[in-house]
């Protein structure tokens, strides 16, 4: 008998994993409004994973559908990275960008090199680069007889195809991570129409050395539709961008954030351009290199605190900032920012808090990967843990509010202002995860993951799920549609 029972165990285990088998017996039916919206989007319920459960409660989930199935979560994976970072680094932790002076300063001239060492700061934007360079001038340095050397050695080089996921290589959020990430390797082009001159003035920040931008573009007497397409921009020559079209006068003033077409050349061009713009002189050149071991910093520029950076990451789903944070984890603990090192650290963090089961499969921490996998159950456990954590206010305040801000702002949510939700989207992937504040006064953890070629059409279904959750009565036994 024992031999027969042992021989049946593998078969029984396999049956438990089959769709419709005992492992799925506890699945609950999706609310009718959600099921109908999925049907309209032509997305089968088998492509959806959902968990809805009371926050801080020990009761069974109110809604559980394919909750244990590993799915691609897209940017919802940022919840893992940001919560782990808040715990391991602390909400007040900040990045430091040290500056080194090699040589002597006489009569406002540095006879030697100036070094800037990147250590992963994801918010080293143009305004803060200006401040760094002004602090250099505060050392009585107006002219540099040597070079300005940019040290990016704190992170490994991460190869990224900026067009891989959405075909938009010139979007700043598609920039590759960099230990010295300067202004997301991007520029802001501002177009200001001048009807009298029949032209739109073009202003570009920051200035890039050796790059000749058009100072104006002709106007077109039309309403504002696709102004970027109307400009017919040509960035094939990074040193000489061109506009072959016209700017629609109906657009008024517009700002176009643009990743520079030559990312490797951006850092030297930006530093030289900004140094000269504030009156600095440079006899040498700006180049990449390493800080000599014997040097000590003259000063260091500190970033905003981590809690503020996490808010930018989650509110606006910034991929490159998340990858900067992800690589920073291994930089701080292992001395070098590497993908493999940070994956190992996040896996250890997860096991210490939730055990080995249901550990997420993480590529780069941002969710911008086809390799990531995580179940709705695992995400719900993460959110329950965060809800009871002292860091709950920092994480929750970083999530977009339904219908009001961040990635949830442009919407007609029925449950407007009633949910803090991280969103995620890739081709064939749509997801939301966070906390819903129900009309009854209760709080619910909600996770929904969709992996299907029609995932881009499921937003009405996700909104219906949030609305259903927001209207759950205080008596959970009462039927709700």
My answer on whether 371 and 466 are in the same domain is: yes
Count of domains for the chain? 3
My answer on whether 338 and 456 are in the same domain is: yes
My answer on whether 338 and 461 are in the same domain is: yes
My answer on whether 110 and 126 are in the same domain is: yes
Would you state the pLDDT for residue 244?
96
CA dihedral 460→462→463→467, nearest 10 degrees, is: 130
Question: pLDDT tens across 59-84, in order?
Answer: 899 999 999 999 999 999 999 999 99
Residue 313 contacts residue 304 (beta carbons within 8 Å): no
Instruction: Answer with the one of 233, 262, 291 that is the final residue of a domain.
Output: 262
C-alpha pair distances (Å), 79 with each of 71, 72, 304, 365, 463: 15, 14, 20, 9, 20
Q: How far is 22 from 13, CA to CA, in rounded Å?
A: 10
My answer on whether 248 and 286 are in the same domain is: no
477: in domain: no
My answer on whether 217 and 331 are in the same domain is: no
CA dihedral 301→305→308→314, nearest 10 degrees, is: 100
My answer on whether 228 and 258 are in the same domain is: yes
Structural tokens at position 273: 């351009």
User: pTM for the complete prediction?
Assistant: 0.91
Structural tokens at position 250: 């109906």
My answer on whether 290 and 411 are in the same domain is: no
12: in domain: no
Closest by Cα among 96, 82, 468 to 311: 82
Instruction: Answer with the one of 201, 235, 262 that is the final residue of a domain.
Output: 262
My answer on whether 224 and 118 are in the same domain is: no
My answer on whether 109 and 153 are in the same domain is: yes
C-alpha pair distances (Å), 93 with each of 44, 172, 302: 44, 25, 10
60: in domain: yes
Helices of type H across 221-301: 227-231, 263-277
C-alpha pair distances (Å), 283 with each of 106, 148, 394: 15, 10, 47
My answer on whether 318 and 414 are in the same domain is: yes
Q: What's phi and psi for 404, nearest 5 deg?
A: -120, -45
My answer on whether 351 and 436 are in the same domain is: yes
Indicate if the alpha-carbon torsion angle 266, 268, 271, 273 is positive or negative: negative
5: in domain: no
Structural tokens at position 402: 């339904």
Flag residues of the chain having pLDDT under 50.
1-25, 477-481
Find the CATH number of the domain harbouring 70: 3.40.710.10
Closest by Cα among 106, 100, 116 to 297: 100
Distance of CA 336 to the CA centre of its chain: 21
Would you state the pLDDT for residue 22?
32
13: in domain: no
398: in domain: yes
Q: Give the 3-state secondary structure of residue 336.
A: coil
Would you state the pLDDT for residue 162?
65
283: in domain: yes
Residue 78 contacts residue 366 (beta carbons within 8 Å): yes
Would you state the pLDDT for residue 164?
65
Distance of CA 376 to the CA centre of its chain: 20
Cis peptide before 206 (omega within 30 of 0): yes
Instruction: Answer with the one of 304, 323, 357 that is the final residue of a domain.
Output: 304
Q: Give the 3-state secondary structure of residue 4.
A: helix
Find the CATH number of the domain harbouring 124: 3.50.80.20
Question: pLDDT tens across 197-233, in order?
Answer: 999 999 999 999 999 999 999 999 999 989 999 999 9
Would you state the pLDDT for residue 339?
98
102: in domain: yes
Domain of 47 in residue numbering reads as 19-91+307-470
C-alpha pair distances (Å), 276 with each of 109, 181, 267, 297, 396: 14, 20, 14, 23, 42
Q: How far is 207 from 187, CA to CA, in rounded Å?
A: 8
């Amino acid at each position: 008998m024992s031999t027969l029972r042992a021989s049946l165990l593998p078969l029984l285990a396999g049956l438990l994993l089959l769709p419709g088998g005992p492992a799925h017996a506890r699945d609950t039916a999706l609310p009718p409004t959600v099921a109908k919206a999925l049907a309209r989007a032509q997305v089968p319920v088998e492509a959806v994973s959902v968990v809805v459960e009371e926050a801080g409660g020990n009761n069974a989930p109110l809604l559980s559908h394919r909750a244990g199935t590993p799915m691609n979560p897209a940017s919802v994976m940022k919840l893992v990275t940001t919560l782990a970072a808040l715990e391991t680094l602390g909400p007040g932790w900040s990045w430091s960008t040290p500056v080194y002076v090699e040589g002597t300063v006489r009569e406002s001239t540095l006879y030697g090199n100036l070094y800037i060492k990147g250590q992963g700061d994801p918010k080293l934007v143009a305004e803060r680069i200006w401040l760094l360079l002004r602090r250099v001038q505060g050392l009585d340095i107006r002219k540099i007889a040597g070079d300005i050397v940019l040290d990016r050695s704190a992170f490994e080089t991460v190869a990224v195809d900026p067009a891989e996921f959405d075909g938009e290589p010139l979007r700043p959020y598609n920039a590759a991570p960099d230990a010295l990430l300067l202004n997301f390797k991007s520029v802001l082009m501002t177009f200001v129409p001048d009807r009298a001159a029949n032209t739109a003035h073009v202003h570009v920040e920051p200035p890039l050395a050796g790059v000749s931008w058009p100072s104006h573009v002709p106007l077109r007497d039309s309403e504002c539709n696709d102004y970027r397409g109307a400009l017919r921009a040509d960035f094939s020559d990074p040193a000489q961008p061109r506009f072959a079209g016209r700017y629609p006068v109906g657009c008024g003033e517009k700002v176009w954030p643009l990743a520079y077409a030559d990312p490797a050349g951006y850092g030297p061009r930006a530093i030289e351009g900004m140094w000269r713009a504030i009156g600095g002189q440079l006899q040498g050149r700006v180049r990449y290199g390493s800080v000599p071991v014997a040097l000590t910093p003259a000063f260091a520029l500190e970033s905003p605190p981590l809690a503020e950076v996490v808010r930018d990451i989650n509110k606006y789903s910034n991929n490159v900032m998340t990858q900067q944070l992800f690589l920073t984890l291994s930089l701080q603990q292992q001395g070098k920012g590497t993908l493999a090192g940070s994956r190992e650290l996040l896996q250890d963090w997860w096991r210490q808090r939730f055990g080995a089961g249901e550990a997420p499969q993480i590529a780069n921490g941002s969710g911008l990967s086809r390799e990531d996998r995580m179940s709705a159950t695992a995400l719900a456990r993460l959110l329950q843990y965060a809800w009871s954590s002292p860091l709950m206010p920092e994480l929750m305040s970083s999530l977009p509010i339904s219908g009001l801000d961040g990635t949830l702002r442009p919407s007609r949510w029925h449950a407007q202002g009633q949910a803090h939700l991280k969103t995620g989207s890739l081709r064939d992937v749509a997801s939301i995860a966070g906390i819903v504040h129900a009309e009854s006064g209760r709080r619910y953890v909600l996770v929904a993951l969709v992996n299907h070629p029609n995932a881009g059409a499921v937003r009405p279904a996700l909104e219906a799920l949030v609305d259903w959750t927001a209207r759950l009565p205080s008596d959970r036994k009462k039927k709700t549609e």
